[in-house]
C-alpha cells in the first residue's frame, strides 16, 4: 500500500503543485479505472457467462461487479486523502471510515455469494450435502465465519489491538465450553454426520430404543424423525453419534427385504408348501419381481416344519402393511390348500390315580 501511495502521489505531482487538484485527479482516475473494471466484468465477462447453460456464473457476475467498482472508488478516495496532508486525527478518521465502508460492502457481497452457493446446490439436489440435510448447517456456519472476519478487519481498520480481545475471547470461550458441553457435543456430532453420512433426509432408521421412522431434518443440534404414528421425535445429535443406528434405506438401493416366518405340520408336502408360499408372494403387487421372492425351509421345529418367505419391497415405509397383507394371504392360502398350521401340543400320561376317599 505504501509503494502504491508513493507512485500515485509522484504521478499526481506532474499536473501541478496544488494538493487539492492532485487529490481530485487521483480520485477521478480511480473512478475511471473502476468504471473500466466494471465494464470488463459486467460487459465482456458477463456476455461470456451468459452463453453458459447455468445461471450461477451470471449471478456471480451481477454479484461481484458493483463491489469491484466501489473498491476502486474507495481506494482512490483513500489515496486522495493521503495526498491532502490532513491532520493526523482527520486523516485517521477519514481513512477508517473508508475502510469500514469497504468491509461492509465486501461482507454483503460474500454473504450474497454464500446464499448463491446454497441456492445452486439446492437446485442440484443430488449433492451429498443436500441429501444429508446439512446444507443449512454449513450455510449458517459460513455466516458466522464471515461475521467474525468482518469484526476482525474492523478492529484492524481502526488500529484496535486484537490481542487482548482474542485472549478475553479465549477465556470466555473456555467458560462457555464447560457450560455448554452438551450443545458442543451435539454440534460436533452433527459435523461428523455430514462427513460420515450414516443416513440422509428421507431414510428410514431404527434407534437403539426401538423407535423407527423417516428422517425429516438434520439440524445443527438434533435430528428429527417422523414415526409411522405421525409423531415427530427430536433426537440430539450427540446421542445418535454414540448409538448404533440401523438404516433400512441404506446401501446403493433403497429397497427393503421383509421376512414372513410360518410353520406347517409334520407330514405336509413341503414342495406344495413352497409353491403355495411362492404364489402368495407373486400375487402381491408390492413384492418386487427383481430380486425375485423366495421360500426357504429353515429348520425342524418342536411342533412344526419352519419355513420363511422372503420378498423385497421398494419402500421401507410399507413394511408393516405388506407383512399384514402377506400374513393374511398365507393364512387363506393354507386354508384353501389344506395345509395345516400346527400349534404346540403336550401329551399328559397319568401313571396312577389317587385312591378315592
User: Residue 243 pLDDT > 90, yes or no?
Assistant: no
State the Cα–Cα distance between residues 315 and 285, nearest whole angstrom.
13
Mean pLDDT is lowest, of 135-139, 214-218, 269-273, for 135-139
pLDDT in the model for residue 124: 65
Residue 229 pLDDT grade (very low, low, confident, very high; cuts 50, 70, 90):
confident
For the whole prediction, is pTM greater than 0.85? no
pLDDT in the model for residue 23: 84
* Cα dist from 139 to 85, 220, 269, whole Å: 44, 11, 64
β-bridge mates for residue 314, sequence order? none
Q: Give first-to-last CA distance, the chain, whole Å.
A: 121
- Which of residues 241 and 278 earns the better pLDDT score? 278
Three-point CA angle 131, 133, 134, nearest 5°? 120
pLDDT in the model for residue 160: 86
For residue 231, the 8-state DSSP code is: -
What's the grid cell of residue 277? 408360499
Residue 176 pLDDT grade (very low, low, confident, very high; cuts 50, 70, 90):
low
What's the grid cell of residue 37? 473494471
Tell me the DSSP string of 241-258: HTS--EETT-SSS--EEE
How does pLDDT run across 41-74, given as a tens digit for each residue? Answer: 988 888 888 888 778 888 898 999 999 999 999 9
Mean pLDDT is lowest, of 30-44, 82-96, 128-142, for 128-142
Tell me the DSSP string of 80-122: HHHHHT--HHHHHHHHHHHHHHHHHHHHHHHHHHHHHHHHHHH
- Which of residues 347 and 151 earns the better pLDDT score? 151
**Most confident segment among 61-65, 173-177, 263-267:** 263-267
CATH topology of domain 256-336: Alpha-Beta Plaits (3.30.70)
Burial status of residue 31 (CB atoms within 10 A of its CB: 0-12, 13-18, 19 or more): middle
User: Residue 24 pLDDT > 90, yes or no?
Assistant: no
Residue 274 pLDDT grade (very low, low, confident, very high; cuts 50, 70, 90):
very high
Mean pLDDT is lowest, of 57-61, 78-82, 166-170, 323-327, for 166-170
- Which of residues 128 and 266 earns the better pLDDT score? 266
Is CATH 2.20.28.120 what the domain over 193-247 is classified as, yes or no?
no
C-alpha of 238 from chain center: 16
Amino acid at each position: 500500500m505504501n509503494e502504491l501511495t508513493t507512485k500515485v502521489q509522484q504521478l499526481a505531482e506532474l499536473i501541478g503543485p496544488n494538493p487539492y487538484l492532485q487529490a481530485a485527479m487521483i480520485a477521478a482516475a480511480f473512478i475511471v479505472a473502476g468504471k473500466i473494471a466494471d465494464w470488463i466484468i459486467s460487459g465482456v465477462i458477463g456476455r461470456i457467462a451468459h452463453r453458459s447453460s447455468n445461471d450461477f456464473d451470471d449471478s456471480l457476475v451481477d454479484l461481484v461487479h458493483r463491489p469491484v467498482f466501489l473498491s476502486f472508488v474507495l481506494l482512490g478516495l483513500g489515496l486522495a486523502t493521503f495526498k491532502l496532508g490532513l491532520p493526523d486525527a482527520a486523516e485517521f478518521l477519514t481513512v477508517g471510515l473508508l475502510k469500514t465502508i469497504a468491509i461492509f460492502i465486501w461482507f454483503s457481497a460474500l454473504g450474497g455469494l454464500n446464499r448463491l452457493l446454497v441456492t445452486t446446490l439446492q437446485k442440484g439436489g443430488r449433492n451429498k450435502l443436500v441429501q444429508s440435510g446439512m446444507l443449512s448447517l454449513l450455510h449458517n456456519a459460513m455466516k458466522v465465519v464471515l461475521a467474525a472476519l468482518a469484526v476482525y478487519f474492523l478492529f484492524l481498520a481502526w488500529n484496535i489491538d486484537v490481542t487482548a480481545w482474542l485472549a478475553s475471547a479465549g477465556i470466555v470461550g473456555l467458560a462457555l465450553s464447560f457450560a455448554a458441553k452438551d450443545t458442543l457435543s451435539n454440534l460436533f456430532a452433527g459435523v461428523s454426520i455430514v462427513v460420515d453420512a450414516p443416513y440422509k433426509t428421507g431414510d428410514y432408521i431404527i434407534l437403539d430404543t426401538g423407535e423407527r421412522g423417516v428422517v425429516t431434518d438434520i439440524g445443527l443440534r438434533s435430528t428429527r424423525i417422523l414415526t409411522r404414528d405421525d409423531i415427530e421425535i427430536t433426537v440430539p445429535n450427540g446421542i445418535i453419534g454414540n448409538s448404533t443406528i440401523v438404516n433400512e434405506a441404506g446401501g446403493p438401493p433403497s429397497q427393503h427385504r421383509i421376512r414372513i416366518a410360518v410353520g406347517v405340520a409334520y407330514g405336509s408336502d413341503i414342495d406344495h408348501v413352497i409353491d403355495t408360499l411362492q404364489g402368495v408372494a407373486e400375487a402381491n403387487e408390492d413384492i418386487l419381481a427383481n430380486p425375485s421372492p423366495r421360500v426357504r425351509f429353515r429348520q425342524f421345529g418342536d411342533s412344526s416344519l419352519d419355513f420363511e418367505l422372503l420378498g423385497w419391497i421398494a419402500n421401507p415405509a410399507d413394511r408393516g402393511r405388506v407383512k399384514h397383507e402377506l400374513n393374511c394371504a398365507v393364512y387363506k392360502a393354507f386354508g384353501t390348500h389344506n395345509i395345516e398350521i400346527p400349534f404346540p401340543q403336550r401329551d399328559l400320561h397319568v401313571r396312577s390315580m389317587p385312591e378315592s376317599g
